[in-house]
Amino acid sequence: SAVISQKPSRDICQRGTSLTIQCQVDSQVTMMFWYRQQPGQSLTLIATANQGSEATYESGFVIDKFPISRPNLTFSTLTVSNMSPEDSSIYLCSVASLGPLETQYFGPGTRLLVL
């Protein structure tokens, strides 16, 4: 299994500002994902971070609001732009193991509170 770290682990931000969340994996992985989990809710996929090309966004999520970078196979960032209180959530990075076994491993998450 992959070991995934995220920075920051938590933050409190003011409305209208932006926050960049970093995700680092201890091994090269093909697929990386960003999820949002609002209080008491399950996981909502924001986008798939593609190495060397633009991220693939799910319905309801746009690049201007959630720009994503993936400069290499072990690192990705998610920026939450022009934040509002509705963006308060846990943001999770995950990586997929493919081939003979398909599963996902998650980072510890970033807890974001927007005031």
Partner 1 sequence: QKEVEQDPGPLSVPEGAIVSLNCTYSNSAFQYFMWYRQYSRKGPELLMYTYSSGNKEDGRFTAQVDKSSKYISLFIRDSQPSDSATYLCAMSGGNQFYFGTGTSLTVIP
Contacts to partner 1 from residues 23-62, by CB under 8 A: 31, 33, 41-43, 45
Residue 99 as a binder of partner 1 (CB under 8 A): the answer is no
Sequence-separated (6 or more) residues with CB below 8 Å from residue 34? 23, 45, 46, 47, 49, 66, 68, 76, 78, 91, 92, 93, 94
Residue 73 as a binder of partner 1 (CB under 8 A): the answer is no
Residue 5 as a binder of partner 1 (CB under 8 A): the answer is no
Q: Where are the beta strands (DSSP E) in 18-109?
A: 19-25, 31-37, 44-49, 56-57, 68-72, 75-80, 89-97, 103-106
Nearer to partner 1, 10 or 15 (CB): 10
Residue 104 as a binder of partner 1 (CB under 8 A): the answer is yes
Residue 107 as a binder of partner 1 (CB under 8 A): the answer is yes
Question: What 3-state DSSP class applies to 86?
Answer: helix
Q: Which residues of this chain interact with partner 1, rule CB under 8 A?
A: 1, 31, 33, 41-43, 45, 92, 96, 98, 101-109, 111
